[in-house]
């Protein structure tokens, strides 16, 4: 197939590019090469065009004859300032809207969209009887006192977590998350209005070689990895028991390949996760053990807006795409402990 790949020079996009090319697809690869993502003087890799998806005149000619667009381009991260909002809205939401309009004019009716677990906000919580419990934002007084778990409003007992399914409500807790929800809504509305199809891949915690290194916008695995490289103990926030799902970037690439080769009707959101939950403390410990220390430090610190637990159910992706992650967190993190990282400055 002929595939237009956006964000092709990025951490995830470059891995997707390799997977699509190896599978024999004809890829038109492009990237805006934002200085904040690639450095001030970075040039596109060989085979990647410098294009900004917000520029319709530059994008539309590339869509001629394209069968499917694989849209990875985005400004990423949790954000550290309300001042990041224009970058998220401009690149992620306006960029997606411009791309969708150009696809409509070109008659391209298939999109594979890089979405994220952050659209859910908090994960799914259950009481001791297994009943679902809706939770809100944790109280600052509880966090300051070291009470990190959500608690039952009826009994005040700590709540457990359960895997999140794609039918969960979307309740973003960060500026970046709000932009990813908006991307999904634009894509879903476009699919409904045009009779097109969108497969929205909700990535969970992605890690692997060439991940951007330690910045306020980096993933926690890269932050731990950077600390260890400098001989410092990884600092683990809260009590380290926050549950997550970490998935290797090669599995993310495989999921994109599966989505491109197996069209789904309408708007189809899918969790892309390893299916092997792990705590943040365990991630830090695994990386430290692989590198021979130093041991992680539980700081008890917390950040406003952080969610406590978010773990995915990968069942739907397995059922409709035939996708299952191959890299276990144990093996993947041991490799990642010595993997090369790329420099990045932060938000666009």
Closest CA to 7 of 214, 278, 206: 206
Tell me phi and psi for residue 75, to 5 degrees: -85, 130
pLDDT per position as a tens digit, 119-168: 999 999 999 999 999 999 998 899 999 999 999 999 999 999 999 999 99
Summarised one tens digit per residue, pLDDT across range 92-105 is 999 999 999 999 99
pLDDT for res 342: 83
Instruction: Give the 3-state secondary structure of 84-135.
Output: HHHHHHHHHHHHHHHHHHHHHHHCCCEEEEEEEHHHHCCCEEECCCCCECCC
What count of residues does the chain have? 348
| The CATH classification of domain 2-124+163-343, taken from the options 3.30.1490.70, 3.30.70.260, 3.40.50.720, 1.10.12.10 | 3.40.50.720
Please state, in angstroms and rounded to a whole number, the distance separating the CA atoms of residues 50 and 7: 10
Q: Answer whether residue 215 shows pLDDT above 70.
A: no
What is the band of 345 on the pLDDT scale with cuts at 50, 70, 90? low
For residue 329, what is the DSSP state?
H
**Cα diameter, the chain:** 61
Query: Which one, of 1, 72, 88, lies nearest residue 36 by Cα?
Result: 88
User: What is the distance between the alpha carbons of residues 185 and 193, in angstroms, rounded to a whole number?
Assistant: 12
Domain boundaries, the chain: 2-124+163-343
Burial 133-146 (b: 16+ CB within 10 A, else e): eebeebeeeebeee
Question: Quick check: 229 and 293 in contact, CB under 8 A?
Answer: no
CA distance linking residue 100 with residue 73, whole number of Å: 13
Beta bridge partners of 26: 2
Residues of the chain with pLDDT > 90, as a percent, come to 85
Q: What are phi and psi of 291, to 5 degrees?
A: -95, -5
The rounded distance, in Å, linking the Cα atoms of 118 and 61 is: 33
Q: What is the pLDDT of residue 76?
A: 85
Contacts of 42 (CB under 8 A, 6+ apart): 9, 33, 35
- Check residue 39 and give its pLDDT: 78
Q: Which whole-number Å values give the CA distances from 22 to 25, 27, 65, 253, in the listed order?
A: 8, 10, 21, 11
């Amino acid at each position: 197939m002929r595939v237009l790949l956006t964000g092709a020079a990025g951490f995830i996009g470059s891995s997707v590019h390799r997977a699509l090319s190896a599978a024999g697809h004809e890829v038109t690869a492009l990237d805006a090469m934002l200085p904040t993502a690639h450095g001030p003087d970075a040039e596109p890799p060989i085979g990647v065009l410098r294009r900004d998806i917000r520029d319709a005149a530059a994008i539309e000619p590339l869509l001629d004859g394209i069968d499917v667009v694989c849209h990875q381009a985005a400004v990423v991260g949790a954000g550290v300032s309300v001042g990041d909002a224009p970058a998220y809205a401009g690149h992620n939401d306006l960029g997606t809207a411009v791309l969708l309009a150009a696809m409509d004019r070109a008659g391209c009716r298939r999109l594979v969209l890089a979405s994220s677990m952050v659209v859910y906000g908090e994960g799914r919580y259950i009481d001791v009887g297994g009943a679902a419990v809706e939770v809100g934002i944790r109280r600052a007084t509880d966090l300051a006192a070291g009470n990190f778990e959500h608690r039952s409003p009826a009994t005040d007992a700590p709540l457990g977590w359960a895997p999140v399914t794609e039918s969960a409500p979307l309740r973003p807790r960060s500026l970046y998350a709000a932009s990813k929800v908006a991307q999904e809504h634009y894509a879903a509305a476009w699919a409904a209005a045009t009779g097109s199809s969108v497969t929205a891949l909700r990535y969970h915690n992605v890690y692997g070689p060439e991940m951007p290194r330690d910045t306020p916008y980096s993933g926690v695995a890269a932050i731990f990895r950077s600390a260890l490289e400098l001989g410092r103990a990884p600092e683990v926030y809260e009590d380290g028991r926050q549950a997550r799902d970490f998935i290797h970037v090669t599995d993310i690439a495989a999921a994109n390949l599966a989505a491109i080769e197996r069209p789904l009707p309408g708007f189809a959101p899918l969790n892309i996760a390893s299916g092997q939950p792990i705590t943040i403390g365990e991630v830090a410990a695994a990386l430290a053990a692989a590198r021979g220390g130093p041991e992680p430090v539980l700081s008890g610190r917390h950040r406003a807006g952080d969610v406590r637990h978010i773990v995915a159910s990968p069942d739907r992706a397995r059922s409709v795409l035939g996708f299952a992650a191959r890299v276990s967190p144990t093996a993947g993190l041991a490799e990642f402990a010595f993997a090369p990282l790329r420099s990045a400055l932060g938000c666009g």
